Every structure is written in structure tokens, then in C-alpha cells.
Amino acid sequence: MKASQFHIATLKEAPADAEVVSHKLMLRAGMIKKLSAGIYTYMPMGLRVIRKVERIVREEMDRAGAIELTMPIVQPAELWQETGRFAKMGPELLRIKDRHERDFVIQPTSEEVVTDIARQELHSYKQLPKNFYQIQTKFRDERRPRFGLMRGREFIMKDAYSFDRDAEGAQRSYAIMAQAYRRIFDRFGLRYRAVAADSGAIGGDLSEEFQVIAATGEDAIVYCPTSDYAANLEKAEALPPQGPRPAPTQPLTRTPTPGRSTCAQVAELLGVPLQRTVKSIVLASDEVNERDEVVATRIWLLLLRGDHDMNEVKVGKLPGLALGWRFATEAEIIEHFGCKPGYLGPVGTRKPVTVVADREVAVMADWICGANEVDHHLTGVNWGRDLPEPDLVADIRNVVAGDLSPDGKGVLAIERGIEVGHVFYLGTKYSRAMNATFLDEDGKPKPFEMGCYGIGITRLPAAAIEQNHDERGIIWPDAIAPFTVVICPIGMERSATVREAAQRLYEELLAAGVDVILDDRGERPGAMFADWELIGVPHRLTLGERGLKDGVVEYQHRRDTAPTPVPLAQAADWVRARIQV
């Protein structure tokens, strides 16, 4: 490709609404163009990156035995009604009607459609296992689209779906996909972690996220530097507290704490570590009838150490809360505790509540909590002596850096990441809902065991930029750069020597299969270099009349601080040896 034939449109400044680095640089480099909130045109430079991402994904999916198809973007609501997701999914699911007033959705994902394909096409266990995948446009009506391609409304995604005859086979398919994902992300040339994850709204059991490491990432990744343990913050656990609970050493005392309603304020006032305090969080779960009317409400008191935060995902899995919960209203709190929030505790409640203690709180002695009286706390609180043992002891907190790893092989650390891939073992969640069955060896119908595997094709370039950039612009890994090599001839419009040498080098690299672009626009050196540094092409060869007189050109990797002189005759081989794809 020659630059004069391509479309290059760089900007000196990013639009004011661009917030994160990747959004700013993709707009400035002319890779995307905003059409509407969360909806972008992929311009030629950006599309080349996306196509390279797709190619790597496609090659590794094919290698893993998956079969490509393409499912419609517009899907009939009937399929989504079979699984209940048409009603359950919020406004992120874009619902539309056709001219006949029939309901359709713009797909955010395709579990229903692919399950419908399986129940029509896969009739016997002899046809299993199967794994269908697509690379297709999706739409989620995000309430607040932002960060460019990181959280857009329209995006491209690779989603794959495996079908097996039993759980053992499904887990084998899952393992094959998890390994394929590792090959894919290795080839992208990005620093990433595969972390155990909660499966969220899609459902399922086994679940891993693939997170690109970046300081600007929205997700917290928990890992042990001295072992293989890694999980996202929602899923991560610490080693349970060891040893028996200490015996009480202090009397229960009602202590004035005027104006101190938080654990941190109380700890400071009393001159004790924050870890000695216990925070109270009040939840409610409602029982409803067939008309969706609330017929009974249960109040829950969750107790966490003062320096810990509640993990809502873990709480949502507790018996009695798995069907849904909410934070209690102030009226409900006053009714049960006789006090407004800020001074609540489990001792002396007005009405019975279900007490759930975090594992750390369950082994504490002589702790401090609210006294259910404004401006007062209790010190020297002990289980068994001052209040009954908790109704339930569970892990309900977020881990923190320095916690012991659950595998016992070190302490936990936390870094930021951007989710770009996710693999799920779904089980029979969708096949049972849609009555998707096959005839097993015994001649009886059985539901498919399913897995689901996604990669954010258009999110991945943005994540790559968040990880790889500097003050001059993007620094692409070789495998997904829009061009791998750029040739920058200086004064080629004035010098036949430069023009001919650049053309020969360009043709030599093309013949060797290198993705090279020749900048023949006649730009000044400063402007030309600034464009390619902003765009982020990783390898640059610069030719000038002065250097060519000595038979040399200059090579510079995008991360290098200075160029390296290279003999012209060896330039093509030199740069080829440094390309990592």
C-alpha cells in the first residue's frame, strides 16, 4: 500500500468528549469516526486493525475445531421469550416491531438463536460434539456509552457455542476453548491474565475472563504473584481465617461516640485499629405472589470488618438472597433497630433479623459495633456471650491486597484490567428452556450441555492502546498493527535516488509478505514522523539522500528512542528479523 492511495486523516487534538487514552488516540489517528453516542464508523486505518484481530481469532477457532456461521443481527422475540430473557433483560436489549407489529430484538448475544439451530440440526449423539462460532455485529443499548470502543452500543464480537452430550464432554469442550483463547491472546502480543470469574446474567458454572492488563482498566484483577491463582474481584477469595476464636477479654460497654457514624471515625476516636470495628449493612428480601405483589419481607443484617467492603455478587449467592435482594429502607431499619443508619449493630435489635457474619467477623473477639442508639457504639462485643452465634457465616467481602491466597502459596495482589474475552460453561440452562434435545445412545432424548465463548473484537484494539501508548501516540503490537512497517523517504519528490531506493525496498518487503506502507505523500519529515508515531506503526525505515550516499537507511522501532543505521542492502532482512507475529 502507498500512502497517497490510502486514507490518512490525523488530528492534532482529540474531541472534547473523548475521555480515555484509547478513545482520544483512535480518533486522532483517524481509526474511528463518531456517528452517534456509542456508534462509530470504522475508518480504513482502524478497520485494518480489526481485520487482523479477526484473522487471528478465526485461525485459532478453526484450529480448535469450531465451525463458522453467521447468525442474524435481527432476531424474533419468540426465541427470547422461550428463555424468558425478552422480559428479564433490561433496556440494554433493543426491542423493535416490524410492520406487522411482531416483536424482534437487535442481538446483544445469540444463545437463543444458536440453541434453535442445534435443536433443528443436531438430532443424535453421533453428531456431537459441535462448536459453532460467528464474528458478527452486536448491539447493547448502554445507558451511558463512553470510552469509545471500550463501551460502545454497536460493536463486533466473536461468540462461539459448544454442544455436548454430557457434562464431561462439555468440560472437555470448555478446556479446548480456554486453551484456544490462550493461544489467541498470546498471538496478540498483549500482557493479559486469565482469571476465574462470576458468570453473571448469562449463567453457568465454570467461567474465566481474559483481561488485558492496563492501569486504566475498569476491572480489578486479583492474583497471587507466587502461584497460578487469579480471579476477578467479584469471584476472588482469600484463605479462610485460621485458628479458633479468641476468648473474650473485655466487658461489653456502651461507649459515647458523638457525631461518629462510620467505622473509620469510631476507630480514630477510640484510638483502635479499624480492623477492630464491625460495620452493619441491612438488606431486605421480598416474597411476592403470582401477581408480583409483596406478601412478606425478610430483613438481613450483614456484618463485615470495618476495613472490608461487601461483595454484592457473593451476597447474591447466599441462601435466601439468591432470588433477589435490595437495601432496606430507612423505615424498615428504624422498625427493626430503633435507630437510623450509622449506629446499627446486632445487639438488642427491636425485631428479629437474620444475621450473616463474614468469615473474618465470625472469629473476632472484643469487637466494636453500633449500639442501635445515635452517638453510641458498643465495645467489647463477643459472640455467644453478648449475642447469639450468627445465623450464617459466609465469605461476603471483597478481598484486599495482602490477603493470603486461597491456595496457601502466597499473598494476593490487585491490578487493573480490561475484559476482552470470556468463556462460560452453561450446562443445560438454555437447552432445557428451549427444549433442545438429541437422542442419546439409549434412544432417549437429552438436553444439550452447552458452553459459550466470547471475544470483544472491536474492544480489543482499544484495550491494546490502553496498554501500549506514549505521549506521541499508539504503539501497536506487530500482530495487530494497521501496517507492520512504514517506509519514510525524505525528499523523494526532489531526489530520484531516494525515490528509486524507496520503491525497491518497498517491493522487496512486499515480495517477502511484509505488510508495508510507503509514505509517498511528500510530507515534511517532522509531519510525516508525527503521523506514523500517532498511528503507531511499530517498524519504520527512513531513507534520505545523505544516508543513501553511504549506502545506509535508518531503522527505528516505535519504542526506540533513537534510530539505528542499517546497510540498505540488508534493510529488508533486518526489519523482517525484528517483526514478531
Secondary structure, 3-state, 291-312: CCCEEEEEEEEEEEECCCCECH
Task: Tell me the pLDDT band of 201, cut-offs 50, 70 and 90.
Answer: very low
35 in the Ramachandran plot: left (φ > 0), alpha (ψ -120 to 50) or beta? alpha
Q: Looking at the predicted structure, is the pLDDT value of residue 202 above 80?
A: no
Contacts of 560 (CB under 8 A, 6+ apart): none
Mean residue pLDDT of the chain comes to 94
pLDDT of residue 52: 98
Every domain of the chain with CATH number 3.30.930.10 lies at 3-237+414-465
Kindly state the DSSP code that residue 554 receives in the 8-state scheme: E
Pairing of strands 473-474, 469-470: antiparallel
Kindly state the DSSP code that residue 539 receives in the 8-state scheme: E
**Each residue of 254-309: pLDDT tens digit?**
999 999 999 999 999 999 999 999 999 999 999 888 888 888 999 999 999 999 99
**Which of 182, 191, 207, 199 is CA-nearest to residue 57?**
182
User: For residues 403 and 251, what is the distance between their CA atoms, to the nearest angstrom?
Assistant: 30
CB 473 within 8 A of CB 536: yes
pLDDT of residue 75: 97
Q: Looking at the predicted structure, is the pLDDT value of residue 147 above 90?
A: no
Each as own residue / partner, the long-range contacts of residues 265-268 (CB below 8 Å, 24 or more positions apart, any chain) are 266/306, 266/368, 266/377, 267/306, 267/368
CB 172 within 8 A of CB 183: no
pLDDT of residue 568: 95
pLDDT of residue 552: 95
**Each residue of 434-481: pLDDT tens digit?**
999 999 999 999 999 999 999 999 999 999 999 999 999 999 999 999
What phi and psi values does residue 27 have, to the nearest 5 degrees? -70, -45
Count the Cβ atoms, other than its own, within 10 Å of residue 154.
19
**Each residue of 337-377: pLDDT tens digit?**
999 899 999 999 999 999 999 999 999 999 999 999 999 99
pLDDT of residue 205: 57
C-alpha cell at 412: 494476593
Every domain of the chain with CATH number 3.90.960.10 lies at 253-394
Q: Looking at the predicted structure, is the pLDDT value of residue 315 above 50?
A: yes
Q: Looking at the predicted structure, is the pLDDT value of residue 497 above 60?
A: yes
CB 28 within 8 A of CB 13: yes
Average pLDDT over residues 407-428: 94
pLDDT of residue 216: 85
Task: Tell me the pLDDT band of 200, cut-offs 50, 70 and 90.
Answer: low
**Each residue of 320-330: pLDDT tens digit?**
998 899 999 99
This prediction's pTM: 0.86
Domain spanning 3-237+414-465, CATH class? alpha beta
Q: Looking at the predicted structure, is the pLDDT value of residue 99 above 80?
A: yes
253-394 CATH fold: YbaK protein (3.90.960)
Homologous superfamily assigned to 483-577: Anticodon-binding domain (3.40.50.800)
pLDDT of residue 17: 87
